[in-house]
Structure 1
Amino acid sequence: MQKIRILHVVQAAGGVDRYIRMLLKYLDKEKFENILVCSQDFHEEDYIGLVDSFEQVEMTRAIGGNDLKAIKEVRTLIKKYNPDIIYAHSSKAGAIARVADIGLKNCCVYNPHGGAFNMRCSAKKKAMYTAIEKVATPFCDKIICISDAEKQSALDKKICKDDKLQVIFNGVDIESYESGAHGVVKRKDLNIPEDAFVVGMAGRMSPQKAPDVFVKMAKRVKDKVPNAHFIIVGNGNQEAEIRKYAEDNGFSDSLHITGWVDNPMSYVELFDVACLLSRWEGFGLALPEYMMAGKPIVASKVDAIPNIIQDGENGLLVKVDDDVGASNAVMRIYQEDELKDKLVTQGLEDVHNRFNARRVSEEHGKLFEKIIK
């Protein structure tokens, strides 16, 4: 049987990069051939054994003159490989790939990995992102939503009709994590005492992930628990602001910022409580990762997060921008061992039943086969 050839187009690295690697790992190699067309932010060595061909095109996050050059280059690669399906990942690549494919009549699948129109930004920007999605929608066959909340948002904004949308929940590579090395990073490596109470977050220090709320929560917890320490796994343009707040409030020695790391889960393993206090979230891949590591979760009640976290069952939910509520939730976990154990147990059950990477790839495989029939 001839393999189904899929050409993946992707601009944004980070979480999308991890998602694609996970998807390709479990996608049936007997049925599918995969070509990756990616931005300069990707590394070919990460895709050895996962793709049949690797191509790079300069793509930038911001809208600009470079986009026309990128569209032309992607169109050339579409003609070169003549795929059965083009799979565009994230908003920018989604626009570039769909425009590049106009008139070429390939099947096209688009996954925004969290619609840009759901970002907390100015009304003018939201309107622009919504307009771009509406204009580009006729040029693809299926739009994959990574949560029920994302699908509902697309319907509310009239991006397209219901039959063009398909929900495939995100997942994490549980098998890889459980069979991998653990305890690689020690508390002493970050100058954290073994008996410290450690609260952490994994994510960019950017407005979406609300590191400013995290650090304000940290101050409140530190006032009540003197041996509390705080870890931010990631980098971002708010780092100086976050460090200054900790310094001004006298706990900079208890705040540990790792910067970009290749092994974020090794740092998550150090947490006693894991936070995701995002202001908007298409899915929140950190949440099943926290569950996989057996960590109790405090998260904001926004967008897709309540699709994943049931308050009081597998985590605690707080309002957006609520550092007081977040600190209270963290303190509950600190003080109530029974609650902590319940959240961890249910989280582990949920990640195995609902957020396994194999399920993500299987659902994609069924969709790909259905589309080209």
Structure 2
Amino acid sequence: MNIVYIITRSDVLGGASVHLLDLAKGLTHKKHNVHILVGSEGAFTKELEKNNIKFSSLKYLKREISPTHDLLGFLEIRKYLSKIKPDIVHCHSSKAGLLGRLAAKTLGLPVVFTAHGWAFTDGVSPRRQKIYSKLENFLTKFSDHIITVSEYDRQHGFKYKVGTPDLVTTIHNGVPDIANSDRIFVHKENNSVVNLIMVARFEDPKDQYFLIEALSKLPKNLDWKIDFLGEGPNLEKCQELAKNEKLDSKIIFHGQSFKVKEFLNQADIFILISNYEGFPLTILEAMSASLPIIASDVGGVNESVSSENGYLIPKGNIDILVQSLTELIVNKNLRQQLGSNSRYLYETKFSFNTMLEKTFNVYTQVLEKRSLK
């Protein structure tokens, strides 16, 4: 199959771009022809080059709203689609979803859109919710199918009259297995220091600042350290807070890292504190590494995290976060049990191959439906 993917940003490796990179690698491995259209060049395009995945950098596809750039971006996408003539177009991220769907439809090409969390999700302003939900409702007319990465997002879309049950399918994110073969179900427990980790950019919707506040309230006798992987506009104020709370020796800021796998395989507890979410890939990666999870109960997080494999923290509840951290740091057996459950859930529900197969089935169904018209 000849597939074109479209995504807005190349400057960061976030959830949507990592998801697309894995999808492209998986389908390329299965001998499908994949070509990615992406705005500009950056960390994402470097990974595409490294993996020999074909791509074209677009000059005018940008995240920011600009009538001039958006019109030129639409024409740019249309030009590439006319040249490549794909069997199907699959758009990721809001701006690429807008321009890509419109461009594909003007050429009569079948097009799928994946919503990696709606732009009108809970937590954004009522004004933005109204504007973006109306826009997404309009764009359903230009969509052969829509994929949401969580059932929460699917139902949230219906709440705002975006899509119908036959148009929108939930396909949970899946990630390649990152666990070391000797690590599965067996954690590194020789060191008395309990290693915590959070992998996320320092920008909304994540809230590393709130996590550091909670860490400052832990009992002083607990032996722990935390690795923060990621960069972004909120990094500096988090570093200042860590310094002010005299936690410099326990909190390590690594910036953006391409060694997430190695860090996760050396960790004991995975944490993701957020203000709002879709369905985070990093939680699934941590589950594949047999880690217990502490995460904010927002978006679709509760579709992968429960008392079976970790703790769900009500948004903004610092007391429960401190209590959950304390319990897991103190209790080695609990960490092992929850971590083993994480691994089992990953293997049975969130493997990469499951996600890849379900996504390709959507393509097949869209093309079959087209052929009957």
TM-score by length of 1: 0.89
Task: Report the equivalent of 1:340.
Answer: 335
Q: Which amino acid aligns with 1:19?
A: H
Determine which of 152, 156, 165 is the counterpart of 2:155: 152
Q: Which amino acid aligns with 2:324?
A: A
1:147·1:307 contact (CA, 8 Å) conserved in 2? yes
CA deviation after TM superposition for structure 1 residue 32, in Å: 2.9
Other structure's SS at 2:285 match: helix
CA deviation after TM superposition for structure 1 residue 236, in Å: 1.2
Alignment partner of 1:76 is 2:71: no
Other structure's SS at 1:258 match: strand
2:230·2:255 contact (CA, 8 Å) conserved in 1? yes
What is the correspondence of 1:36-75 to structure 2 with a 5 Å cutoff? 36-40=36-40, 41=42, 42-43=44-45, 46-47=48-49, 51=53, 53-58=54-59, 59-64=61-66, 65-75=68-78
Other structure's SS at 1:109 match: strand
Number of residue pairs the alignment of both structures matches: 357
1: distance between equivalents of 2:227 and 2:335? 19
Other structure's SS at 1:280 match: coil
Q: Which amino acid aligns with 1:5?
A: N
2:48·2:55 contact (CA, 8 Å) conserved in 1? no
Task: Report the equivalent of 2:290.
Answer: 294
1:110·1:144 contact (CA, 8 Å) conserved in 2? yes
2:27·2:34 contact (CA, 8 Å) conserved in 1? no
Change (3 A) 1:161 1:203: same
Other structure's SS at 1:232 match: strand
Determine which of 227, 237, 246 is the counterpart of 2:223: 227
Task: Report the equivalent of 1:91.
Answer: 94
Identity over the aligned pairs, expressed in percent? Answer: 23
CA deviation after TM superposition for structure 1 residue 29, in Å: 5.4
1: distance between equivalents of 2:78 and 2:28? 26
Determine which of 310, 319, 323 is the counterpart of 1:315: 310
Alignment partner of 1:10 is 2:7: yes
1: distance between equivalents of 2:214 and 2:253? 16
Q: Which amino acid aligns with 2:105?
A: I
Task: Report the equivalent of 2:371.
Answer: none
What is the correspondence of 1:231-242 to structure 2 with a 5 Å cutoff? 231-242=227-238
1:202·1:268 contact (CA, 8 Å) conserved in 2? no
Please give the per-residue CA displacement for 1:2-36, whole angstroms capped at 9, x wherever unaligned.
xx211110113422222112112322756632111
Task: Report the equivalent of 2:21.
Answer: 21
Determine which of 209, 213, 217 is the counterpart of 1:216: 213
2: distance between equivalents of 1:157 and 1:225? 49
Other structure's SS at 1:68 match: helix
Q: Which amino acid aligns with 2:33?
A: E
1: distance between equivalents of 2:353 and 2:339? 22
Change (3 A) 1:209 1:45: closer
CA deviation after TM superposition for structure 1 residue 177, in Å: 4.8
2: distance between equivalents of 1:60 and 1:247? 36
2: distance between equivalents of 1:129 and 1:300? 24
Stretches of structure 2 that go unaligned for 5 or more consecutive residues are 185-189, 369-373
RMSD, aligned α-carbons: 2.3
Determine which of 233, 258, 262 is the counterpart of 1:262: 258
2: distance between equivalents of 1:57 and 1:214? 37
Stretches of structure 1 that go unaligned for 5 or more consecutive residues are 183-192
CA deviation after TM superposition for structure 1 residue 273, in Å: 1.5
Task: Report the equivalent of 1:368.
Answer: 363
1:146·1:167 contact (CA, 8 Å) conserved in 2? yes
Change (3 A) 1:336 1:181: closer
Task: Report the equivalent of 1:142.
Answer: 145
1: distance between equivalents of 2:225 and 2:334? 21
2:98·2:139 contact (CA, 8 Å) conserved in 1? yes
Please give the per-residue CA displacement for 1:64-91, whole angstroms capped at 9, x wherever unaligned.
2322211110010111111121100111
2: distance between equivalents of 1:153 and 1:296? 28
2: distance between equivalents of 1:245 and 1:119? 28
Q: Which amino acid aligns with 1:121?
A: V
Other structure's SS at 2:166 match: helix
2: distance between equivalents of 1:207 and 1:110? 23
Please give the per-residue CA displacement for 1:186-210, whole angstroms capped at 9, x wherever unaligned.
xxxxxxx953232221101113111
CA deviation after TM superposition for structure 1 residue 43, in Å: 1.6
Moved more, 250-259 or 35-44: 35-44
Other structure's SS at 2:90 match: strand
1:24·1:361 contact (CA, 8 Å) conserved in 2? no
Other structure's SS at 1:170 match: coil
Task: Report the equivalent of 1:124.
Answer: 127
Please give the per-residue CA displacement for 1:34-81, whole angstroms capped at 9, x wherever unaligned.
111112233255355564x32111322221232221111001011111
2:15·2:280 contact (CA, 8 Å) conserved in 1? no
Q: Which amino acid aligns with 2:39?
A: S
1:215·1:246 contact (CA, 8 Å) conserved in 2? yes
